[in-house]
């Protein structure tokens, strides 16, 4: 429930009818809204259809820590590094993943010193908390959608709340709740009160002292916000090496969880934090966890160098699929504006919210941010070194010769704000408080370019049919079927865009339900580009969903595409997550600008042209999906500053993970073997 509420906190100014009318008249003035899709088949590769399935909040090591690839392939994970053994126990190089605590007073730091290793007599790790895993359940079908899976008790409830699963998978929705009180130690985890200083397997002891996997149950959700992740990665130029030129050490994950967690939410003093050390937990695919994703990895191509593009959470990372850039606060003309203080509607006397995020510690605290969270700031003007939190990141980027890429006088949104638009295309009539991003008018997205080029595309979001008719997404439950809360509004880049949302034609053409996706696959009438987002039941988000639900959601689509033999011949299905959810990962991280990259996340390419179990090492992030679409359909760049302008990586034979021409991100071409299949020179592994 907390996740759903958090994702739908409201904001900002109501756009007037006159401005909306102006935007509608100007939208796509230079090209067609949908067009005849005459260029769908004009591609640089045999791929005529791309389906991007986007789950949530898992890092590569969190899922694939013990993955063993086919013979002749190498994967970079905890097992291959010797950090853990195949059974999940500490390996000979376990100390490489050791975590530390630190002290940060007065001014924010991304690489605090000195640091103290955990598990000394005076410095121990907190037990992992349960965070907001399912606890208390609404008993009625009408409100079942507000519970989250694990609270559902009958298949009837599950079926009403979920059509993203095949009937045989619906029982997954009725099991797996923690049974542990919220915000308390997760007593299921083996040795929860005496955790090792490093990654630990997500298992519990059963009768007979036999360890059993926690994979099919709910767990906690680590902190995954912007300034927190910069600290978790602990990037320090003095630690840079040829193998790790960024100097990011990834050794402060539990410390950030234990000192600031998900933020102060506007509170000036810290409250007791009970998140604990969730971040270091991992599943064991060698013992049978994540069986379907593991099967796909062994049959097709998995990339062990694919990253979340932005530090932090869902919104900013999902926007990279659409814009390949961070979004900024805009005025009614779409130009950058200052969101410093925004009137909260209805307050008497007037109340103003300072929306500039301030990660400097509050006085007398260790790392408790002064203004962070949904009760406070989420914007930054990172072009101004005097702004809080900016200087430590920019100084570090300058030291490794990377441009922050921050436009002057521009306030970028770092964390989750909802769009100004609701599903009908109107602005939200219920709540327009301080947590809504104004309409995006001048930042172009990949849908704009596809439409301009007469190439079809759609965003298929599960429960769109419910969401698009909902009157608003505030606390007015009486006028809103709770089922609409299953739609993830902050996950859809195009819900923020005036070019889509102010045109009925564009909304009908490009915003769809997953029911429409299943029909399109069956009929073979699939758009050239399809973005697919599960509901909050099926997205795999820790605590409010499970990874096995995301596997089941993905399996339905993959098997349906493969069943349509003609479609399978020309389709690539890309399976990934929005971001790592704050889980630990041991992989190299390449900073490309102020906003990221962040940790590695799973990325699997399912296609006739990616068969064989290959492990690709091409450095990539979500902007790579944009680059692939642009290359395949010969589209222009989205802007002069967006990440699709970055070059493809050039690497050495002895280190395929680190681009020598940094910053650089791939276009995914290296994840395919086109030449091996059709005789052409389209691409290679």
Q: How far apart are CA 541 and CA 131, in angstroms?
A: 12
Q: How far apart are CA 533 and CA 174, in angstroms?
A: 21
Flag whether pLDDT at 20 surpasses 50.
no
β-sheet bridge partners, residue 412: 328, 380
Flag whether pLDDT at 154 surpasses 90.
no
Dihedral of alpha carbons 626, 631, 634, 638, sign: positive
C-alpha separations of 623 from 38, 308, 619 in Å = 25, 10, 11
Task: Report residue 652: phi and psi, to 5°.
Answer: -100, 160
Q: Specify the pLDDT at position 544.
A: 86
Q: How far apart are CA 42 and CA 44, in angstroms?
A: 7
| pLDDT (mean) for 554-575 | 97
DSSP state of 470: -
| pLDDT (mean) for 529-540 | 95
Decide: 384 and 411 in contact? Cβ < 8 Å. no
Categorize the per-residue pLDDT at 679 as very low, low, confident or very high, splitting at 50, 70 and 90. very low
Count of positions (residues) in the chain: 685
Decide: 460 and 514 in contact? Cβ < 8 Å. yes
Task: Report residue 440: phi and psi, to 5°.
Answer: -85, 115
Nearest to 514 by CA among 569, 482, 556: 556
DSSP state of 180: S
DSSP state of 375: T
| pLDDT (mean) for 23-38 | 42
Decide: 592 and 66 in contact? Cβ < 8 Å. no
Decide: 363 and 369 in contact? Cβ < 8 Å. no
Q: How far apart are CA 73 and CA 88, in angstroms?
A: 21
Flag whether pLDDT at 568 surpasses 80.
yes
Q: Which residues contact 44 (CB under 8 A, 6 or more apart)?
A: 631, 632, 633, 634, 682
Dihedral of alpha carbons 375, 380, 381, 386, sign: positive
Q: How far apart are CA 519 and CA 538, in angstroms?
A: 19
Q: Look at 194-203, 328-337, 431-440 and tell me which has the smallest mean pLDDT.
A: 431-440
Categorize the per-residue pLDDT at 130 as very low, low, confident or very high, splitting at 50, 70 and 90. confident
Q: How far apart are CA 378 and CA 350, in angstroms?
A: 21
Categorize the per-residue pLDDT at 4 as very low, low, confident or very high, splitting at 50, 70 and 90. very low
Q: Specify the pLDDT at position 267.
A: 73
Helix H segments across 453-503?
464-467, 498-501
Decide: 35 and 556 in contact? Cβ < 8 Å. no
- The b-or-e profile of 465-489 (16+ CB within 10 A means b, else e) is bbbbebbbbbeeeeebebbbbbbbb
Q: How far apart are CA 494 and CA 608, in angstroms?
A: 30
3.40.720.10, 3.40.50.10490, 3.40.50.720, 2.40.37.10: CATH of 2-63+286-325+428-678? 3.40.720.10
Decide: 416 and 490 in contact? Cβ < 8 Å. yes
Decide: 258 and 275 in contact? Cβ < 8 Å. yes
Q: Specify the pLDDT at position 620.
A: 98
Please write the tens of the pLDDT for every residue from 222-235: 999 999 999 999 99
Q: How far apart are CA 15 and CA 21, in angstroms?
A: 10
C-alpha separations of 615 from 128, 413, 506, 667 in Å = 32, 34, 38, 16
Decide: 245 and 662 in contact? Cβ < 8 Å. yes
| pLDDT (mean) for 3-16 | 31
Helix H segments across 27-147?
60-64
Decide: 653 and 459 in contact? Cβ < 8 Å. no
| pLDDT (mean) for 130-141 | 63
C-alpha separations of 382 from 271, 342, 443, 519 in Å = 29, 20, 18, 45
Decide: 531 and 625 in contact? Cβ < 8 Å. no
Q: How far apart are CA 603 and CA 580, in angstroms?
A: 12
Q: How far apart are CA 677 and CA 461, in angstroms?
A: 33
Decide: 607 and 47 in contact? Cβ < 8 Å. yes
Q: Which residues contact 211 (CB under 8 A, 6 or more apart)?
A: 190, 201, 203, 204, 205
Decide: 382 and 412 in contact? Cβ < 8 Å. yes
C-alpha separations of 520 from 288, 513, 516, 524, 560 in Å = 33, 11, 6, 6, 10
Q: How far apart are CA 250 and CA 180, in angstroms?
A: 29
Flag whether pLDDT at 272 surpasses 80.
no
Token digits for 592?
Answer: 């490309």
Please write the tens of the pLDDT for every residue from 352-408: 777 889 999 988 899 999 888 665 678 999 999 999 999 999 999 999 999 999 999
Decide: 186 and 219 in contact? Cβ < 8 Å. yes
* 23 alpha-carbon distance from chain centroid: 29
Query: For the CA atoms of the chain, what is the radius of gyration?
Result: 23
Neighbours of 340 (CB within 10 A): 15
Q: Specify the pLDDT at position 341.
A: 67
Q: Specify the pLDDT at position 146.
A: 54
Q: What share of the chain is helix, strand, coil (3-state, %, to 5)?
A: 30, 15, 60
* 223 alpha-carbon distance from chain centroid: 13
Please write the tens of the pLDDT for every residue from 53-98: 999 999 999 999 999 999 999 999 999 999 999 999 999 999 999 9
Decide: 330 and 439 in contact? Cβ < 8 Å. yes
Neighbours of 632 (CB within 10 A): 24
Q: Where are the beta strands (DSSP E) in 290-432?
A: 301-303, 306-307, 341-343, 352-354, 358-361, 369-371, 379-380, 412-413, 418-419
Mean pLDDT of the chain: 87
Token digits for 114?
Answer: 């000195």
* 285 alpha-carbon distance from chain centroid: 22
Q: How far apart are CA 118 and CA 140, in angstroms?
A: 46
Categorize the per-residue pLDDT at 158 as very low, low, confident or very high, splitting at 50, 70 and 90. confident
Please write the tens of the pLDDT for every residue from 235-270: 999 999 999 999 999 999 999 999 998 877 667 777
- In the chain the first and final C-alpha atoms are separated, in Å, by 43
Q: Specify the pLDDT at position 373.
A: 66
Q: How far apart are CA 586 and CA 251, in angstroms?
A: 9
Could you tell me where in the chain the CATH 3.40.720.10 domains are found? 2-63+286-325+428-678
Decide: 290 and 546 in contact? Cβ < 8 Å. no
Decide: 131 and 220 in contact? Cβ < 8 Å. yes
Flag whether pLDDT at 683 surpasses 90.
no
Q: Specify the pLDDT at position 129.
A: 87
């Amino acid at each position: 429930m907390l996740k759903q509420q958090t994702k739908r906190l409201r904001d900002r100014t109501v756009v007037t009818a006159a401005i909306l009318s102006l935007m509608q008249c100007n939208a796509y003035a230079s090209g067609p809204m949908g067009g005849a899709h005459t260029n769908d088949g004009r591609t640089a590769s045999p791929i005529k259809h791309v389906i991007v399935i986007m789950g949530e909040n898992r890092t590569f090591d969190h899922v694939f820590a013990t993955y063993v690839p086919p013979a002749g392939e190498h994967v970079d994970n905890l097992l291959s590094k010797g950090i853990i053994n195949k059974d999940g126990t500490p390996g000979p190089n376990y100390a490489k993943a050791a975590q530390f605590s630190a002290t940060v007073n007065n001014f924010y730091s991304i690489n605090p010193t000195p640091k103290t290793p955990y598990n000394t007599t005076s410095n121990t790790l907190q037990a992992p908390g349960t965070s907001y895993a399912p606890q208390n359940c609404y008993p009625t079908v009408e409100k079942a959608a507000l519970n989250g899976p694990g609270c559902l008790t009958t298949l009837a409830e599950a079926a009403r709340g979920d059509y993203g699963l095949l009937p045989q998978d619906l029982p997954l929705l009725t099991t797996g709740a923690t049974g542990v009180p919220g915000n308390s130690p997760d007593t299921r985890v083996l040795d929860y009160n005496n955790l090792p200083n490093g990654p630990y397997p997500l298992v519990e002891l059963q009768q007979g002292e036999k360890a059993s996997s926690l994979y099919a149950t709910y767990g906690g959700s680590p902190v995954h916000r912007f300034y927190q992740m910069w600290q978790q990665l602990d990037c320090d130029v003095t630690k840079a090496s040829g193998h790790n030129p960024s100097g990011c050490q990834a050794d402060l994950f539990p410390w950030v969880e234990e000192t600031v967690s998900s933020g102060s939410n506007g509170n000036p003093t810290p409250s007791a934090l009970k998140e604990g050390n969730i971040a270091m937990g991992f599943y064991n695919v060698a013992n049978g966890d994540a069986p379907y994703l593991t099967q796909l990895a062994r049959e097709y191509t998995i990339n062990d160098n694919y990253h979340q593009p932005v530090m932090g959470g869902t919104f900013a990372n999902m926007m990279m699929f659409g814009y390949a850039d961070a979004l900024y606060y805009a005025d009614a003309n779409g130009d950058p504006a200052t969101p410093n203080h925004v009137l909260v509607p209805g307050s008497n006397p007037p109340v103003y919210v300072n929306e500039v995020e301030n990660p400097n510690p509050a006085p007398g605290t260790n790392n408790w941010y002064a203004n962070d969270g949904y009760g406070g700031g989420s914007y930054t003007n990172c072009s101004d070194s005097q702004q809080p939190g900016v200087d430590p990141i920019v100084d570090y980027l300058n030291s490794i010769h990377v441009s922050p890429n921050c436009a002057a006088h521009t306030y970028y949104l770092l964390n989750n704000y909802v769009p100004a638009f609701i599903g009908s295309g109107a602005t939200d009539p219920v709540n327009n408080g301080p947590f809504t991003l104004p309409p995006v008018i001048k930042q172009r997205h990949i849908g704009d370019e596809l439409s301009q080029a007469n190439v079809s595309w759609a965003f298929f979001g599960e429960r769109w049919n419910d969401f698009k008719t909902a009157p608003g997404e505030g606390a007015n439950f009486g006028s809103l079927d709770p089922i609409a809360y299953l739609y993830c509004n902050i996950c859809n880049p195009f819900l923020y865009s005036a070019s889509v949302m102010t045109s009925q034609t564009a909304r009908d053409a490009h915003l769809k339900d997953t029911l429409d996706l299943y029909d399109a696959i069956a009929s073979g009438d699939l758009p050239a580009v399809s973005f697919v987002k599960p509901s909050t039941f099926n997205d795999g988000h820790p605590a409010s969903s499970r990874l096995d639900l995301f596997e089941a959601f993905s399996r339905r689509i993959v098997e349906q595409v493969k069943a349509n033999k003609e479609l399978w011949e020309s389709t690539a299905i890309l399976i990934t997550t929005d971001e790592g959810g704050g889980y630990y990962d041991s992989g190299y991280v390449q900073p490309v600008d102020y906003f990221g990259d962040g940790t590695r996340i799973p990325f699997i390419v399912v296609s006739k042209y990616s068969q064989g179990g290959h492990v690709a090492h091409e450095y990539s992030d979500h902007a790579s999906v944009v680059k692939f679409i642009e290359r395949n359909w010969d589209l222009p760049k989205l802007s002069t500053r967006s990440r699709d302008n970055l070059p493809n990586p050039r690497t050495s034979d002895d280190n395929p993970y680190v681009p020598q021409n940094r910053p650089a991100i791939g276009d995914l071409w290296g994840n395919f073997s086109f030449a091996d299949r059709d005789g052409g020179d389209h691409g290679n592994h």
